[in-house]
């Protein structure tokens, strides 16, 4: 119990979705009661996804004292636990075993500069890429298993450098980081919702927390105060599930789009940080995942299924039976091309992706997609045309032309890299596609060490750090596939070093 006098600075709009929290802190803060701390900890981590779990275990290893992770939901892992388990690592052992020896952190950053379209933070991308092998090692030493021999080139990358967890889910990583952290002395608590920060001038000294909170009911649980002696790390993720905030920062984003995120990705801690002076950047840059399927909800299987389709198959418009994009371009390029497929009344004309069935009949990506009826096995192009109401003659003409491009290993229509493309003969695996809201490139501005920048002074807020999707301005206009997990793991390592250096 600590009774040191401090002053609460309440931000009245800190509730879920409370947009008033985004107003300048000076308009909302007011001094009130003396704090009677219920407990204290040295390092407090908010959020239990890749970033929070990495930061927690690495802070413990830096010997900066006690570490407590607070998670508002009923399970550990946040949004990370349901992602696809992809991780971009230049010079990873599988890549080297495949004979790819010319990759490097610099090559990865060069790809990210292209996808960022001039809006990226190059220095931050370099810092993260330089710690890629450290991030991979963290996974291996904590027991994460990756698919044997699996390392592929994913959209927007110029090299095959994306490995994937054994079960194709980020839960393979969050589970192992959690287990390792527990063994090393990290404490984790579920159902703890951050109501506000406790500030002493330009320094965070603790948090006001609703303990035993039951999402999304703010009337559940009771309020406690936790003092943070050395650091508060904000690793609470993005805000893709906060519809009011999404609409406020990007009115052009189709509100009918499904979302891949967990329900807890509501961003209220970002709003609370902003209300206390933290500088937001790129809040309107919200990414859609072009691999979504309208035939399943949330993240689903489509992401995994299309890791085959983008490489070995083709995307076809149901409106005219023609290809319409480079299937291996980055997410932003593909999403924009897909969403142009609309009927006269502006409703979605869901394009299809098809590839050969026989080569992948036993692949779990195909088996579970067919089982759950978000993909179909069809024997002929006439069957495909009939099921999806595509002009049959045009579809056949398109596939004949595509097959010639495969044979030539050259795509004169969209300049797609054809090294992995297969001649399409059928029977086919066919799925429908439509983008889903997936990732927030915007969030809190930090320096290279993860210190949160105060927008009023452009200096770091003392003892306040942010990492992962809670931050903004790193990736620019489009984040490349498999780089979020890398960013979170790497920044968890980096921020722990920063905290130690700041003591």
Instruction: Retrieve residue 500's tokens.
Output: 């130690």
Nearest to 494 by CA among 42, 2, 117, 54: 54
User: Which of these is catalytic: 210, 246, 328, 331?
Assistant: 331
Q: Is 365 a catalytic residue?
A: no
Instruction: List Cβ<8 Å contacts ≥24 apart for 56-59.
Output: 56/181, 56/186, 56/188, 56/492, 57/138, 57/142, 57/177, 57/180, 57/181, 57/184, 57/186, 57/492, 58/138, 58/492, 58/493, 58/495, 58/496, 58/497, 59/231, 59/233, 59/495, 59/496, 59/499
C-alpha span between 233 and 50 (Å, rounded) = 13
Complete DSSP assignment for 135-172: HHHHHHHHT--B-TT--B--TT-SS--EEEBTTSSTHH
C-alpha span between 234 and 50 (Å, rounded) = 12
C-alpha separations of 328 from 18, 218, 291, 315, 325 in Å: 39, 43, 11, 10, 9
Is the alpha carbon torsion for 492, 498, 502, 503 positive or negative? positive
Where in the sequence numbering do the catalytic residues fall?
331
């Amino acid at each position: 119990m600590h009774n040191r006098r401090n002053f609460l600075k309440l931000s009245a709009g800190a509730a879920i979705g409370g947009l008033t929290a985004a107003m300048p802190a000076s308009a909302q803060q007011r001094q009130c009661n003396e704090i009677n701390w219920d407990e204290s900890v040295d390092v407090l981590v908010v959020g239990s996804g890749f970033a929070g779990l990495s930061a927690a275990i690495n802070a413990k290893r830096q010997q900066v004292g006690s570490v407590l992770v607070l998670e508002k939901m009923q399970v550990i892992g946040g949004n990370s636990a349901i992602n696809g388990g992809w991780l971009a690592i230049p010079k990873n052992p599988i890549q080297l075993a495949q004979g790819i020896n010319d990759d490097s952190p610099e090559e990865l950053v060069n790809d990210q500069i292209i996808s960022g379209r001039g809006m990226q933070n190059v220095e931050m991308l370099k810092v993260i890429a330089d710690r890629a092998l450290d991030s991979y090692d963290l996974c291996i030493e904590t027991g994460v298993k990756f698919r044997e021999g699996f390392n592929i080139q994913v959209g927007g990358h110029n090299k095959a450098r994306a490995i994937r967890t054994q079960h194709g889910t980020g839960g393979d990583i969050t589970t192992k980081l959690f287990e390792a952290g527990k063994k090393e002395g990290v404490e984790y608590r579920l159902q703890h919702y951050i109501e506000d920060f406790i500030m002493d001038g330009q320094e965070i000294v603790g948090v006001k927390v609703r303990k035993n909170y039951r999402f999304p009911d703010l009337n559940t649980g009771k309020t406690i105060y936790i003092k943070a002696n050395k650091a508060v790390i904000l690793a609470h993720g993005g805000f893709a599930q906060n519809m009011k905030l999404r609409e406020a920062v990007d009115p052009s984003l189709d509100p009918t789009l499904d979302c891949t995120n967990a329900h807890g990705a509501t961003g209220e801690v970002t709003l609370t940080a902003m209300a206390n002076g933290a500088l937001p950047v790129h809040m309107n840059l919200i990414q859609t995942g072009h691999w979504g399927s309208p035939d399943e909800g949330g993240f689903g299987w489509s992401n995994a299924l299309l890791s085959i389709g983008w490489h070995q198959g083709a995307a076809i418009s149901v409106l005219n039976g023609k290809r319409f994009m480079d299937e291996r371009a980055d997410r932003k390029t593909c999403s924009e091309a897909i969403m142009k497929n609309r009927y006269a009344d502006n409703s979605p004309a869901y394009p299809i992706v098809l590839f050969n069935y026989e080569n992948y009949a036993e692949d779990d990506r195909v088996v579970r997609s067919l089982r759950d009826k978000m993909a179909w096995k069809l024997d002929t192009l006439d069957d495909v045309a009939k099921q999806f109401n595509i002009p049959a003659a045009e579809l056949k003409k398109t596939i004949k032309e595509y097959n010639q491009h495969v044979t030539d290993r050259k795509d004169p229509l969209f300049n797609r890299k054809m090294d992995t493309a297969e001649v399409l003969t059928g029977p086919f695996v066919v799925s429908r596609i439509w983008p889903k809201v997936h990732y927030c490139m915007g969030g809190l501005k930090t320096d290279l060490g993860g210190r949160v920048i105060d927008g009023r002074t452009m200096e770091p807020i003392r003892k306040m750090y942010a990492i992962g999707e809670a931050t903004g301005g790193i990736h620019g206009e489009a984040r490349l596939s498999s780089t979020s997990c890398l960013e979170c793991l790497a920044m968890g390592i980096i921020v722990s070093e920063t905290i130690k250096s700041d003591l």
